[in-house]
């Protein structure tokens, strides 16, 4: 009954309209180089507050799905990846476009994204219920240890510096304790400001940390749009070159079906890992496709199999990333953190109990994810590639003021107070300085979200049994603590190896 109710809700005009608009926004935003999927999700986030939960989440899912596929446009036609998850698409897509096969490359990318995304949805449907049932066995001890394990994985977002990622996660945890203590009603770190008594809102932190550094970077990188106009000048393509040869595209997809399925499954698996995402899945799938290359296939010189591997994997991430987010309440990325923010705004607790308490919402999200992929296919095939080429060439100096004003309006609309706008600007400055110092920003946001969950379950565990050793005598909790230690040791070793390798490269460069 819940499934039938979810279908009737999803096929309502409001949900279909929100999903369509979200997908359109995601495709357009990702087509602009430097305007990431996260930026698009952050901009849409404030507008979901006034919507019911299913409509709000369907909008963000549309942005997420459209963003993964839209990044290929600039990558193939301009040689500039629209999003980080489309980097590998450039390796073979751009050479194909230069050889007069732009339509073929775009067709392969669009249909690979579509089929890869659907395979990711199947993985979501197949694995999420068993994981949620497993999560129902968790007590406060297990949830606390799971949060710690997730933070060590998410700290790997720090790239070569695991320690900076870990520090970012604990900075987010520290921000989460600001406000009124939920147990004793004691004010903590409010500094006499009544606006902080309810804690720090997620939206100003999220938009400030990510939007302002991205906007500043977009302006400096494009130099008032001159670089993009130069790239557009080099992309003088005829209508015949942009036309998709459907028969040839489907023939290539049939010939590369193993590559398509393998890359999609790998993308879904990587998406389900906290701290990973489309970029990691993109490179892993491309590397596996190269290893399995047939005689005569030359990756990096216009090989269709490279485009198929890249685009199918990054769209499959959308389904995979929802598995830990919905089943365990653990966001694997900053985008999934926004999804949790929407649920919390509507007083819905994500995690294993979500299937028990809100089954219609969960099934509705599954259906919305499938519908978003069909909308993505229809928009990209119907709008025409030349339209997206023009969108990709919009200079940054036109976008930045509009985006900045929209961010400020969204923050003010949260609580109708100017304090949130100042908070947004303050975290924007902090985010810019941290980015300059090579600190990852995603662990801060995820730490802020998980902080309340971590503290609440720690208190419940110690109230039920004050002996700390209980955390290590319960099998699941002990297993997560062991995984936490192993993950921390492995990531720390990789970080140290990366530093040594970088120093060695710099030494050789100086000697030369």
pLDDT at position 374: 94
Which of 21-30, 151-160, 221-230 holds the top average pLDDT? Answer: 21-30
| CA-based nearest residue to 197, from 415, 45, 348, 409 | 415
3-state DSSP call for residue 322? helix
Distances from the Cα of 299 to the Cαs of 71, 285, 286, 446, in angstroms? 20, 13, 9, 37
- Dihedrals phi, psi of 180, to nearest 5 degrees: -90, 130
Distance CA 139, CA 133 (A): 13
Which of these, 487, 508, 510, lies nearest to 146 by C-alpha position?
Answer: 487
Report the 3 state secondary structure along 173-222.
Answer: HHHHCCEECCCCCCEECCCCCHHHCCCCCHHHHHHHHHHHHHHHHHHHHH
Most confident of 13-27, 144-158, 370-384: 13-27
Segment 145-157 shows an average pLDDT of: 75
Res 237: pLDDT = 56
pLDDT, tens only, 43-83: 888 888 788 888 888 999 999 888 888 878 877 877 777 67
User: What is the pLDDT at residue 12?
Assistant: 87
- What totals of helices (H) and strands (E) does the chain contain, helices first? 25, 2
- pLDDT of 134 strictly over 90: no
Chain centroid offset of residue 16 CA = 22
pLDDT digit string (tens) for 460-501?
A: 888 888 888 888 888 888 998 998 888 778 777 766 665 555
HSE (side-chain half, CA atoms, 13 Å) at 376: 37
- SS3 call for 365: helix
pLDDT over 60 (residue 232): no
Q: Residue 12 carries which DSSP code?
A: S
| pLDDT score, position 502 | 43
**pLDDT surpasses 70 at 278:** no
Cα–Cα distance list, 121 to 69, 251, 442 (Å):
15, 24, 25
Burial of 260 (0-12, 13-18, 19+ CB in 10 A): buried
* Rounded Cα distance, 12 and 98, in Å: 44
Looking at 223-358, list the stretches that DSSP marks H as alpha helix, in order from N- to C-terminal side.
226-234, 239-242, 246-255, 257-271, 278-291, 304-327, 334-345, 354-357
Please give the full DSSP string across 266-283, using - where no structure is assigned: HHHHHHTSTT--HHHHHH
State the Rg of the chain over Cα: 23
């Amino acid at each position: 009954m819940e499934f039938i109710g979810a279908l009737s809700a999803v096929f309502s005009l409001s949900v279909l309209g929100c999903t369509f608009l979200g997908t359109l926004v995601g495709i357009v935003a990702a087509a602009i180089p430097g305007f990431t999927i996260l930026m698009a999700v952050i901009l849409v986030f404030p507008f979901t507050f006034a919507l019911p939960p299913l409509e709000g989440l369907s909008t963000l899912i549309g942005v997420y799905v459209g963003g993964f596929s839209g990044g290929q446009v600039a990558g193939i036609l301009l040689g500039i990846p629209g999003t980080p998850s489309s980097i590998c698409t450039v390796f073979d897509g751009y050479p194909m476009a230069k050889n007069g096969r732009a339509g073929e490359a775009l067709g392969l990318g669009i249909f690979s994204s579509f089929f890869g995304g659907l395979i990711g949805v199947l993985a979501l449907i197949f694995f999420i219920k068993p994981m949620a049932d497993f999560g129902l066995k968790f007590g406060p001890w297990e949830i606390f240890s799971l949060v710690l394990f997730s933070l060590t994985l998410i700290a790997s977002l720090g790239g070569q510096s695991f320690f900076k990622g870990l520090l970012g996660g604990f900075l987010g945890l520290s921000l989460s304790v600001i406000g009124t203590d939920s147990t004793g009603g004691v004010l903590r770190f409010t500094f006499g400001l009544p606006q902080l008594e309810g804690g720090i809102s997620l939206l100003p932190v999220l938009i400030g940390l990510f939007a302002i550094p991205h906007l500043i970077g977009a302006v400096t990188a494009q130099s008032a749009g001159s670089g993009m106009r130069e790239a557009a000048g080099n992309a003088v393509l005829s209508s015949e070159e942009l036309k998709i040869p459907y028969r040839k595209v489907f023939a290539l997809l049939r010939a590369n079906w193993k590559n398509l399925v393998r890359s999609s499954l790998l993308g879904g698996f990587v998406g389900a890992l906290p701290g990973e995402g489309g970029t990691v899945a993109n490179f892993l799938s491309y590397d596996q496709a190269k290893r399995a290359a047939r005689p005569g296939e030359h990756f990096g010189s216009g090989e269709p199999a490279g485009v198929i591997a890249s685009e199918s994997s990054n769209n499959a991430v959308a389904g995979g990333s929802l598995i830990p987010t919905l089943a365990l309440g653990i966001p694997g990325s900053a985008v999934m953190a926004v999804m949790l923010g929407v649920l919390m705004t509507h007083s819905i607790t994500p995690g294993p109990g979500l299937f028990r308490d809100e089954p219609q919402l969960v099934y509705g999200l599954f259906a919305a994810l499938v519908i978003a992929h069909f909308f993505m296919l229809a928009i990209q095939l119907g709008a025409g590639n030349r339209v997206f080429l023009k969108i990709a060439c919009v200079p940054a100096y036109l976008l930045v003021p509009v985006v900045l004003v929209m961010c400020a309006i969204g923050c003010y609309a949260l609580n109708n107070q100017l304090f949130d706008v100042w908070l947004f600007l303050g975290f924007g400055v902090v985010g810019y300085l941290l980015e300059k110092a090579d600190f990852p920003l995603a662990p801060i946001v995820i730490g802020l979200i998980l902080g309340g969950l971590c503290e609440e379950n720690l208190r419940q565990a110690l109230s039920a049994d004050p002996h700390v050793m209980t955390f290590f005598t319960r099998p699941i909790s002990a297993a997560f603590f062991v995984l936490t230690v192993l993950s921390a040791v492995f990531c720390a070793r990789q970080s140290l190896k990366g530093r040594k390798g970088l120093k060695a490269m710099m030494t050789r460069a100086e000697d030369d």
